[in-house]
Amino acid sequence: MRGAMNVLQLANSGLGPPVAGTVAAAVALLNRPTDSMILGSQLAAYGALAGRWPGAPEAERPALAQALGDSPFAHRIQSALNGYTRAAWAGADAVPPAPQAQALRAFDGLSGLDRQIVAALRGGPLGETPLTTVADYRARLQAELDAAAADASPRRLDSVTLSDAAQAALDGTAAQPPAVASPQPQPRSAQIAAALAAYAKTAG
């Protein structure tokens, strides 16, 4: 997870389309209280002013700095992003999929307006249009969780089917081959007779 986001750092990023309308109108919009009716317009104005900041003339910079760093909307953005970052922190020792699961739970736990802010500002480059929606950003978090969970799951080992004979051999129940009878000792007289017969055959 990225660390707590400083809005003035965003303002210096140079991202975002050219400002639509006048700078004064955009600045005024960011100084209005945020509600669901104007949130989208405020996010667009914020991105546009942030994109204007790098090349803005010195005369505009005080107004831009106030709008991007100290306006009510800037404070609302800071609160939403920093609150989400803290809630999404799973701990230094967390291993996948715990961080991804915590990020999704933290996002679901935000207010409706804060979810829109987080999705718009974390879902793509600042000032990018159209803004990333809550549904799209949540789907991204869910996909990251699913991928992490799949990577962390134990690998299934390939199985080998043994024949009945092989299994019986492993179990020690296989039929044993018949034992070969050991030669029986012959009587002493028979041994002598056999020796004499062999000698006579050789001598002859």
In a domain, 84, yes or no: yes
Nearest-10 Cα torsion for 28, 30, 31, 33: 120
In a domain, 101, yes or no: yes
Which token pair is 123?
């879902």
Q: How many domains does the chain have?
A: 1
- Residue 104 domain boundaries: 7-152
Greater pLDDT, 131 or 188: 131
**Residue-wise burial string across 85-117, b where 16 or more C-beta atoms lie within 10 A, e elsewhere:** beebebeeeeebbbbbbbbbebbeebeeebbbb
CA pair distance 113, 123, nearest whole angstrom:
15
Residue 157 has pLDDT above 70, yes or no: no
In a domain, 59, yes or no: yes
In a domain, 40, yes or no: yes
Residue 189 has pLDDT above 50, yes or no: yes
In a domain, 143, yes or no: yes
| Rama region for 190: left / alpha / beta (φ>0; ψ in -120 to 50; rest) | alpha
Instruction: Kindly report, residue by residue over 88-146, the tens digit of the pLDDT.
Output: 999 999 999 999 999 999 999 999 999 999 999 999 888 778 899 999 999 999 999 99
CA pair distance 96, 1, nearest whole angstrom:
12
**Confidence (pTM):** 0.66
